[in-house]
Amino acid sequence: MTATANHVIHDIQADPFGERFSRHLAVHKQLLGGSFYFESASEALLDLVEAAYGGLPPHRLPITVPDFRIELQLVPHRDQPYIIEPPQVQMHSGAGVLCGVIDASNYVVISPAQHRALVVASEDMLDFPYHLRYELIEFAVFILATRGLGLVPLHGACVGRNGHGLLLLGASGAGKSTMALHSLLNGLDFLSEDAVFVHPETLLATGVANYVHVKPDALRFIEHEAARDWIGKAPVIRRRSGVEKFEADLRHSHGQIAASPLKLVGAVFVSSEQETDLDALLSFVPSDEIAARLHADQPYAAGQPGWLHFQQKMVQTGVHELRRGEHPQVSIEALMRLLDRL
């Protein structure tokens, strides 16, 4: 049952904060090594939770895990619905809470110490499920898991096999998503294309392998007809940058999602530079340059607890740079050879 305006009208004088609002529906998900409970009176909001996390393998970490609780509230339509897309999220913090605010009717409030979060969304925001899911609901999950489990949050991708993983780093547009997609199509386990969370003590990496985002022009490099059809029929989302991409559901894909966290055995900076010499696609990053390159590539993570330990371990495992071949398949073969050696 989707909550409507009638469900959120209450006696303002008797209950000014809406504390008596019914929250009779709940779902549980094992995500990023954590145990998450989502509570709401709105089936529509819980449907978005299911769209984000339904059917994913439950990842667990060798640590004590608290329960995380995220409450989702649906409020009435705003007077002026968005025409193109919602405004960008504005971040705020204070008094031990973190906030992501789109407007007065669409926001998330997170209390890491209490392992709780509140997501509030207006009914018209349901017309923008990508933004609502990614910028409010998934944002709450990522922050709670990072702070509550002591994970290092990285902007990157991760693929692997036999329990071992390679971290794919690099600037936006360098080709991390393309590398992750073609790794999937070549039989590697897919962990994440955009956000990777690493336990610094064990180097176990986890992520949410729900979707892969592919530019339309990347379809020409996909030779497998069924895979090309799977992506080409996927919904199209528009990034904040204005770039449009297919959002293909990995749970209905032609590959293998990582069933459990992957132990990182190395990292690769994906470069947009072209290289025609196959023997020169991969190169070592000198050990005395690794710390600086990681810091420059991950400015947010570099300020989080656990970063120094993670950084030291990555220096020990070794880091490479991968230049772009004439075809993604060439780069993937170099990546797979590296994974076999590590």
pLDDT tens track for 237-259: 988 888 899 999 999 877 899 99
pLDDT in tens, 4-14: 434 444 566 77
Q: Are 246 and 231 in contact (CB under 8 A)?
A: yes
- The stretch 224-228 carries a mean pLDDT of 90
- Pinpoint the alpha helices (H) of 203-286: 225-232
Q: Are 206 and 32 in contact (CB under 8 A)?
A: yes
Q: Where in the chain is the domain with CATH 3.40.50?
A: 153-341
Inform me whether the pLDDT recorded for 23 exceeds 70: no
Question: In which band, very low, low, confident or very high, does the pLDDT at 190 lie, cut at 50, 70 and 90?
Answer: very high
Give the H/E segment covering residue 270.
Answer: strand 262-274
Least confident of 106-110, 117-121, 183-187: 183-187
pLDDT for the residue numbered 11: 67
Inform me whether the pLDDT recorded for 177 exceeds 80: yes
Average pLDDT in the chain:
91
- Degrees to nearest 5, angle at CA 176 with 171 and 177: 125
pLDDT for the residue numbered 2: 39
- The stretch 268-274 carries a mean pLDDT of 90
Inform me whether the pLDDT recorded for 15 exceeds 80: no
Inform me whether the pLDDT recorded for 115 exceeds 80: yes
The segment with the largest mean pLDDT, out of 214-218, 325-329, 335-339, is: 335-339
- In terms of phi and psi (left: phi > 0; alpha: psi -120 to 50; beta: otherwise), the region of 89 is beta
Question: In which band, very low, low, confident or very high, does the pLDDT at 100 lie, cut at 50, 70 and 90?
Answer: very high
Partner residues linked to 71 by β-bridges: 39, 118
pLDDT for the residue numbered 7: 45
**CA neighbor of 219 nearest in space, from 173, 182, 261:** 182
- The stretch 131-160 carries a mean pLDDT of 97
**CA distance linking residue 265 with residue 270, whole number of Å:** 16
- The stretch 203-210 carries a mean pLDDT of 97
Q: What CATH architecture does domain 153-341 belong to?
A: 3-Layer(aba) Sandwich (3.40)
Question: Can you say whether the dihedral through the CA atoms of 200, 202, 203, 207 is positive or negative?
Answer: negative
Least confident of 13-22, 143-152, 212-221: 13-22
**CA distance linking residue 21 with residue 8, whole number of Å:** 7
pLDDT for the residue numbered 22: 65
Inform me whether the pLDDT recorded for 278 exceeds 50: yes
Give the H/E segment covering residue 314.
Answer: helix 307-317
pLDDT for the residue numbered 18: 72
pTM of the model: 0.91
